[in-house]
Structure 1
Amino acid sequence: MKESEIIENVRSALAKHEARLSEINQKIWSNPELSFEEHNAHDNICALFDALAADGYTVKRSAYGINTAFEISYTNGQGGRTIAFNAEYDSLPGMGHACGHNLIATSSIASFLAATETMRALYPNTPYTTRLLGTPAEEGGGGKLLLIDAGAYKDVHACFMVHPFPALTGSPNLLSASSDSAQYLANNKVEVTFTGKPAHASAAPWEGVNALDAVVAAYVNISMLRQQILPTQKIHGVVLRGGERPNVIPASTTVEYYIRAETVKSLTPLTERVVKCFEAAATATGCTVEYKWEPSYMDMVDNRPICEGYMIAMNEMGYSTIYDAAGQEGGLSGGSTDMGNVSYEVPGFHGSFYIHTDGVNHTPQFTAGAGSEESFQRSLYCAAGMAVVGCRVLGDDEFAAAVKADFDSKV
């Protein structure tokens, strides 16, 4: 099937559903919910597809044993290939959708609808499955890791999503960029607790073992370590608990740190160096130290045929798109995502697109930009590109083989 026919059908489907998509986008943006608490987003998205049940969509609420995850699918015939679209919809504490997950969810919903309806129109005799996965807790908790463990991706031949970023200063009108692995770093997250001994801070400080001193020592150790690591590696943290009152020697303190590196392989030795900073602080102050590790996010493995196919489709539709955004002036890098873990399981695409905001991700200004009509429209443009490539994975044996070969060569 010619790509021009796919594009025509994809655009038609998006136009047909635009009002529904706009409504769901605003519902998610206007009602931000934290990780694993995204009950309204879960219910509203599922309700949207309940209304489309006559078109053959199957809705599974609280899928894979996760309360705020869902799986919506469409199957044509027996066998064939499966594509999936990841919808994220958790927000950040105190600032709403400051990473634009409302737009991520909207673009994936839109692309799922457009790919399904295009396949139904152009490939009626081809067996296939399209799937929309609701993936909670990307900002903390690793919802996709739980879905991986539960088997949500075991039969998937390609998985898609896009992520918004602030418009590039050098190219403010650039719409989108294909997935680039250098943008998304492997990430270890750890909560560290130092335990000392309380005492009266004025009358008998020598009786105490100061756990806050351990925090300060660890912070200084890590600050010095930063001079000796690669520019692409990142270490950053906050003090969660530093003590109770100034006149009591703090007996227990807690910090939380993120450790990021280019790949899972390079993350391991960097993490070991950071742990030595904590251990040294504990030894110097006489405290004990305990670690609580969160699920690790892996680096993003890009898939060149998918990336190039997306770029070609977007440019054919008139949307200015490049392959690699990491080196562009004003481009952001250094973030992490649990989509990286998915990309180690199946061929993955985590594209970037750009919206006009007065601030970068994780700021109130970005929250405001993520709720604009222009940002919504840009999410639909990217949905079209993903849908076109998704149809190629399902309907083009040669393209699907190239996608698999590229994945097999990297993982």
Structure 2
Amino acid sequence: MIANKQQSFSFSALKRVFANPHKLYDELRATDPIYFDELSQCWLVTGYAEVVAILEDERFTSDLGTYSPKSAMGWDTVQDTLTQSVFFKDGIEHQHANHYLLKHIAQTAKRLTSDIKTIVHQRFMTLAPEGSMDIVKDFASAISFAVTLRVLGIDISEPQKFKRFLGYSETISDIASGFPVGNTQELANLISFLREEVAQKKQTPGEDLISAFLAATDIFPDDEAVLSSTLMILTAGHVTTKKLIGTGTAKILDRWPQLQEEFLNNPALPKQICEEALRMSPPTRYIARWARQDADLSEQFPGNHHIRHGQKILLFLEAANYDPRVFENPKEFNLAHRSVKHLTFGFGKHRCPGASIARIEAHASLQELLHLSHLEPDADHPPSGIPTRFSGVFVPVPSPLILKNKHCVLTKA
């Protein structure tokens, strides 16, 4: 019986039940919220307080280049470029880079709010005549890619070129996520294109993120450092917001008529829905940390928690967001939960720099969708979770989730 219980708490078991893992999370948290998995030789952390403590503990690092092993088939090219980014380093240089990015992203979010809303609306109007859409593939993916390009300062206005490079971005996201599919030549094409954009921005800088990287020579000392960080922003920005919109919409679809009714009297409802949807369905299932030295958490969190140098720790943000010690009735959609900070975008100095941009996209997307009349999922296309890993994270994706209007026209109510 003990062996079976230990086996059920393995990382492999958690991967198998990615569609609805919360029963297993509850059992694991009740047994030990900092649990060592003998099979995978890594720690599984499922408690809110425990995740926060490890995120804030300098003895643990996210240094992808030092600790994450290379994978086969195309990943080496991506990893070699990504791991040069200062955002995958650690220590004071990472802090300076993250602070710089947070400051610039905040300014960008304020300046581009109107543009982001326009991108969302235009995509919606493009899909409206069709009468249905795949919320991830047709809607969220194109929006997140277009917004990320806008933030970086890259203009791909020609539709066929946009579609082609959207495909390149999907390929590089898949390979960076541990799924080596697609044509590896697309990787070279995308990296070559970004290198040209960096060179052009160097000659004619503007009010964009690539220009900001180039201006901060103390943080990004050469063109390759700028390129690696540009690739990181493009890949992470695209994949994360795509999952955010897709999983968030799927999570609240059963309450759609009620939410539409509330929206008539509460224009701020999309922002409120967004935070609870983020808590319940974070686009990042877990993030990875490694112990840079031996660390004993046994006194802070009673139990045998002697973490050894080099051991991997998986912080399940999804589980922490459902911790009943923090969130009352965590499995219920409740807008009152927004008074407690969820961990979807991390915590403290390790929070996601692009969270403000992602929120604007999600708010605008929900606002467009809430205006629809009779929105419902297509019974012929039930959603199914697809596991996607990116740089040590694990992301469930509802695909396909086809939304359609009962009258087959996506018109405003």
**Shorter-normalised TM range:** under 0.3
TM-score, with normalisation over the residues of structure 1?
Answer: 0.26
Give the structure with the higher percent helix.
Answer: 2
The TM-score with structure 2 as length reference comes to: 0.26
Greater strand proportion:
1
For the pair shown, which has the larger CA radius of gyration, 1 or 2?
Answer: 1
